[in-house]
Amino acid sequence: MKRLTGSLALLFLVACNTPQQEAVQEQVADTTSVASLSYPQEKHLANLKQLTFGGDNAEAYWSFNNKSLVFQATNPMWGTSCDQIYVMNLSDGTPDTIPPQMVSTGMGRTTCAYFMPGDTTILYASTHLDNAECPPVPERVEGGAYVWPVYESFDIFVADLKGNIVSQLTDSPGYDAEATLSPNGDKILFTSTRSGDLELYTMNLDGTDVKQITSDLGYDGGAFFSGDGSKIVWRASRPQTDEEIAKYKGLLAKGQVEPTAMELFVANVDGSDARQVTKLGGANWAPFFHPSGEKILFCSNHLSERGFPFNLFMINIDGSGLEQVTFDEQFDSFPMFSYDGKRLVFASNRNNGRTRSTNLFVADWIE
């Protein structure tokens, strides 16, 4: 299996957690062997199934009825050269050359889609009001650290399943994105720069009652609610030295952030009792609560000497009991449990025919 370079692996640490590949992806043939998709050590995953075959597909999140997924994709085979939002009904089988239903406008760049209560509308962020074209990514400097663009043109919208925008929830200056929804169906959690830093906020489903719930310097983002809606988990950078602080502020002033050193935090839904869960080093991100509410599934490269591979790990919310869940040689991330806790969807570079393709996979979860 072809291994990514360290810089390519870090291309996945963006937005809510979006992959942004630069190369045109090759279409990959389906596999007939379910067993070939998984590794013997992956004891928590059963009946693993590949859902997409080519392009960049990531951040797939379940509908409340556990029958559909909403995700973002860049796929030349679907005529999509900049991340757009799609809905996949799992009963329809798996998309190949025929794309699933696009539910974003097809303009700008989108990220971080989530089903709203009732499964008839979805929440996502988009840059399309600023420009219909795909916004540029920062120029990569040879030997330089990877940076992720913090597009000030991102705002949060609600759309129906035909792609019609129903409402716009944010319109303040600066970055508003990375929105997720409480399982209780009453609160939205998102990241914004409206304070001058990348902080977490909550708001009602109609965009009212916005409350800032983090305030420490550093990037706070990629946040999710616990299954009972009482707690949140997120990734954060915490620059400490004068040099780290100056670098972080300098990049943010240019609309960029370096997401290569992040740890996981949990807190009550109002931001109180915040505490650090991981102290592993490297990039620890894409966290999601285990159905028990007592563990967190997340992506990490802390065992990687050169920044890759990334794999899924599980840890107790008190920071104990670290366990490796996936064992891919390249990249596994973006895990989400179905609302009934029976299945797990995630994105992976496995079985991609030695391309840079990132695809969606679903498995039955085994304790």
Domain boundaries of the chain, sorted by first residue? 6-365
Q: Tell me what pLDDT residue 145 has.
A: 74
Positive or negative, the Cα torsion across 10, 12, 15, 20?
Answer: positive
What fold does the segment set 6-365 form as a domain?
Neuraminidase (2.120.10)
The single-letter code of the amino acid at 299 is C
Distance CA 50, CA 53 (A): 8
Nearest to 105 by CA among 94, 113, 117, 116: 113
Q: pLDDT tens string for the chain (367 positions)? A: 222 333 334 344 444 654 333 333 333 333 334 457 999 999 999 999 999 999 999 999 999 999 999 999 999 889 999 999 999 999 866 665 577 999 999 999 999 999 999 999 999 999 999 999 999 988 776 666 788 999 999 999 999 999 999 999 999 999 999 999 999 999 999 999 999 999 999 999 999 999 999 999 999 999 999 999 999 999 999 999 999 999 999 999 999 999 899 999 999 999 999 999 999 999 999 999 999 999 999 999 999 988 889 999 999 999 999 999 999 999 999 999 999 999 999 999 999 988 889 999 999 999 9
Burial label for 320, CB within 10 Å (0-12, 13-18, 19+), is exposed
pLDDT, one tens digit per residue, over 127-161 is 999 999 999 988 776 666 788 999 999 999 999 99
Burial 327-355 (b: 16+ CB within 10 A, else e): ebebbbbbbbbbbeeebbbbbbbbbbeeb
Distance CA 324, CA 327 (A): 8
Tokens of 142: 């040879």
Nearest to 112 by CA among 52, 183, 61: 61
pTM for this prediction: 0.91
229: left (phi over 0), alpha (psi -120 to 50) or beta: left
Structural contact between residues 262 and 283, judged by C-beta atoms closer than 8 angstroms: yes
For residue 186, how many other CB atoms are within 10 A of its CB?
Answer: 12
Q: Tell me what pLDDT residue 119 has.
A: 98
H helical segments located in 198-253? 242-253
Structural contact between residues 297 and 288, judged by C-beta atoms closer than 8 angstroms: yes
